[in-house]
C-alpha cells in the first residue's frame, strides 16, 4: 500500500482519518507524521489544526526529526519559515547541512535574541565567516559577544576562499552530512606518519630551550626556523577546529592546512581533503 501521505494526496483517505492525522493522533513514525502534517497545513479544512499540532509537538522529538539528514526538505523549510520558528528547534535546524548556508546568513542579521543564543552555540555558525560577519550586525548582540565574534573571525584565514572552492565545500558537505554529524565532537588527533615517511615538523611542537654557554654566562636561545613557527601556528589553528570547520578547511584552507588534515583521525576529514 502507498504511504498515507500519497493516499491523502490522491483523495483516497476518509475525512475522519485525515482529521486524526491533523491532530497527530495516528500511530506513525514522527518523520512520516511531520511530512503529513506539513502537507495538511495547506489544507482548507484541516490546515489550522495541523499547524497547531506542529506548534505543540514535543521539542525533543521534533529536534530529532529536524536534525536528521532524511528529513524532507519541505519539513525543514516549514520550521525555518519565520512564522513557524520555535527557538527550541533552532539548534537542530542550524546544524542540518540541508539548510543552505545562505539561509543562515539571512537569519543572522535580524534574528531574535533567542535565535542569537542558538547561533552563538552552533558549531556550524562558528565555522562560517560569512554567517559570523552578518551576525555582527545583529542589534541583539551584547558588547562581549561582539568582541568574541571578532576574535573568532580574526583567527580564521584572512583571505576569503575562492567561490569555486566554497561551492565544492557546500556541495560535498550536504552530500556527506550524515558522516559529518556522526563524527562531530571528535577532537583533532593527527595519525602517525606512514612507515618510511618522516614526521612533518608541524606534528610536534618545536621546543625552544635555553642552554648554558658556560658557568655563570648568559643563556643563549636556540633559534627556531620561521617555517617551523608557521607550521606550528597552523597546527594549533587546526587543533582548535571542530569537525565541520576541518572539513571546510579541507576545501578552502591553505596547502599547509591540508597537509595536516590528510592525517586527521576523523575519516570524514581525510575524505574531504581527498575530494
Domain boundaries, the chain: 4-154, 163-274
Q: Which residues pair with 212 in a beta bridge?
A: 219
- Model pTM above 0.75: no
* Cell triple for 90: 533552532
Rounded distance, CA 169 to CA 165, Å?
6
Q: What is the pLDDT of residues 156-177, one digit of tens each?
A: 654 566 788 888 888 888 888 8
Are 229 and 254 spatial neighbours (Cβ–Cβ below 8 Å)?
no
pLDDT computed for residue 15 by the predictor: 94
The enclosing H or E element of 107 equals helix 101-108
Please, what sign has the CA dihedral across residues 13, 19, 22, 24?
negative
The enclosing H or E element of 144 equals helix 143-154
187: left (phi over 0), alpha (psi -120 to 50) or beta: beta
Is residue 209 exposed (0-12), middle (13-18) or buried (19+ Cβ within 10 Å)? exposed
Are 253 and 157 spatial neighbours (Cβ–Cβ below 8 Å)?
yes
185: left (phi over 0), alpha (psi -120 to 50) or beta: left
pLDDT computed for residue 160 by the predictor: 61
Instruction: Look at 17-21, 55-59, 146-150, 196-200 and tell me which has the smallest mean pLDDT.
Output: 196-200
Q: What is the mean pLDDT of the chain?
A: 82
Distances (CA, A) of 75 to 28, 57, 94, 131: 16, 13, 14, 23
The enclosing H or E element of 169 equals helix 163-175
The enclosing H or E element of 220 equals strand 219-221
Res. 65 pLDDT band, cuts 50 70 90 = very high
Please, what sign has the CA dihedral across residues 121, 126, 127, 131?
positive
Q: What is the pLDDT of residues 1-42, one digit of tens each?
A: 458 999 999 999 999 999 999 999 999 999 999 999 999 999
Amino acid at each position: 500500500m502507498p504511504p498515507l501521505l500519497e493516499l491523502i494526496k490522491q483523495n483516497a483517505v476518509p475525512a475522519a482519518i485525515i482529521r486524526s492525522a491533523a491532530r497527530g493522533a495516528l500511530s506513525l513514525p514522527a518523520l512520516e507524521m511531520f511530512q503529513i502534517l506539513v502537507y495538511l497545513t495547506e489544507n482548507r479544512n484541516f490546515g489550522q489544526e495541523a499547524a497547531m499540532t506542529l506548534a505543540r509537538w514535543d521539542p525533543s522529538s521534533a529536534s530529532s526529526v529536524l536534525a536528521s539528514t532524511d528529513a524532507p526538505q519541505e519539513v525543514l523549510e516549514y520550521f525555518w519559515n519565520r512564522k513557524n520558528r520555535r527557538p527550541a528547534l533552532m539548534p537542530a535546524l542550524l546544524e542540518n547541512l540541508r539548510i543552505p548556508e545562505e539561509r543562515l546568513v539571512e537569519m543572522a542579521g535580524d534574528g531574535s535574541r533567542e535565535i542569537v543564543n542558538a547561533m552563538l552555540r552552533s558549531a556550524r555558525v562558528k565555522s562560517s565567516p560569512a554567517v559570523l560577519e552578518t551576525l555582527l550586525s545583529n542589534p541583539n548582540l551584547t558588547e562581549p559577544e561582539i568582541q568574541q565574534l571578532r576574535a573568532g573571525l580574526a583567527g580564521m584565514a584572512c583571505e576569503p576562499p575562492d567561490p569555486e572552492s566554497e561551492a565544492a565545500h557546500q556541495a560535498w558537505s550536504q552530500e556527506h552530512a550524515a558522516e559529518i554529524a556522526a563524527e562531530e565532537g571528535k577532537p583533532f588527533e593527527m595519525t602517525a606518519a606512514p612507515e618510511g615517511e618522516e614526521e612533518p615538523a608541524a606534528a610536534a611542537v618545536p621546543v625552544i630551550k635555553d642552554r648554558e654557554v658556560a658557568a655563570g654566562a648568559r643563556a643563549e636561545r636556540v633559534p627556531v626556523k620561521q617555517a617551523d613557527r608557521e607550521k606550528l601556528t597552523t597546527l594549533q589553528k587546526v587543533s582548535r577546529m571542530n569537525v565541520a570547520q576541518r572539513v571546510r578547511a579541507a576545501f578552502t584552507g591553505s596547502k599547509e592546512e591540508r597537509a595536516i588534515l590528510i592525517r586527521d583521525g576523523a575519516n570524514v576529514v581525510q575524505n574531504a581533503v581527498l575530494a
